Amino acid sequence: MKQMKAVRGAVLVLVLALASSGAWSAEWRAELESGVAAATYNTVSVPNATGTRFSLIDDLDADVTFYVRGRFTYSWGGRNTVSILMAPLTIESSARTDKNILFKDVDFPAGTDVRARYTFNSYRLTYRRTLSRGARLTFGLGVTAKIRDAAIRLEGDDRVAEEDNVGFVPLINFDLDVRLTDRLRFSCGGDALAAPQGRAEDIALLAHWAPVRRLELSLGYRILEGGADVDSVYNFALIHYAVIGISVRL
């Protein structure tokens, strides 16, 4: 896939550039985030004009799912941050449908036991610049290059249909940090952007506590919302995350 090759190439160039500039001795941070995710709406129509518009939440029963995210971050100069995020997500749904569903030109008649899998994997390269830094309040703004690896798959009564899409999405990144003590801070940040054909928002509100010098624990809430309204697909989803995380300065 051309998009994935481009991201791998950009990451390799970034790593080599940082290594050659002595970045390996500077501040790196590894973050692991986990918890549970649940969707409150997820509406689909494939193709947009001729497929049945149905809900993976209301017409099917969606599972609450366990998730894991990982991020590597490098900061330098007191104001510059580059990070790489890997954020896979899969939510499964199932039910005996009470209406006909035409999905990707495959008909699932009413009364079919339908199993659905919604996949929304995200890989992001972000640069952010700190614009304001005070004793308590810090604010930064930047840009994110996102590769979206998404798929919706339906199965039932020997019928299978799947719509997948891999694409590049530019986003605006922001981070607002409020430090209460040396060990306790709150943050609100993420990526977001809207366009005529769709939108995307991935924003977290977190509390961070540092029990020791290089370790930080996080707890909070994340929202993932957005989708696309184009000829090939209509899909908009809202997903809520209960978040617990750990961050280690290397």
Domain ranges of the chain: 2-249
Instruction: Find tokens 């996102």 and name the residue.
Output: 146
**What is the C-alpha to C-alpha distance for residues 15 and 19, in angstroms, rounded to an integer?**
6
Sequence-distant (≥ 6) Cβ neighbours of residue 133 within 8 angstroms: 78, 79
Confidence of residue 4 (pLDDT cuts 50, 70, 90): very low
Superfamily of domain 2-249: OMPT-like (2.40.128.90)
- Residue 15: both structure tokens together: 């790593």
**What is the C-alpha to C-alpha distance for residues 146 and 167, in angstroms, rounded to an integer?**
8
pTM of the full structure: 0.88
**What is the C-alpha to C-alpha distance for residues 231 and 128, in angstroms, rounded to an integer?**
34
Q: How many CB atoms lie within 10 A of CB 74?
A: 19
| pLDDT tens-place string over residues 171-208 | 999 999 999 999 999 999 999 999 988 999 999 999 99
Instruction: Return the bridge partners of 146, or none.
Output: 124, 169
Instruction: Find tokens 């697909």 and name the residue.
Output: 233
Instruction: Look at residue 1 and give its three-state secondary structure.
Output: coil
| pLDDT tens-place string over residues 76-135 | 998 999 999 999 999 999 999 999 999 999 999 999 999 999 999 999 999 999 999 999
User: Both ends of the chain: CA-CA distance in Å?
Assistant: 32
**What is the C-alpha to C-alpha distance for residues 198 and 222, in angstroms, rounded to an integer?**
20
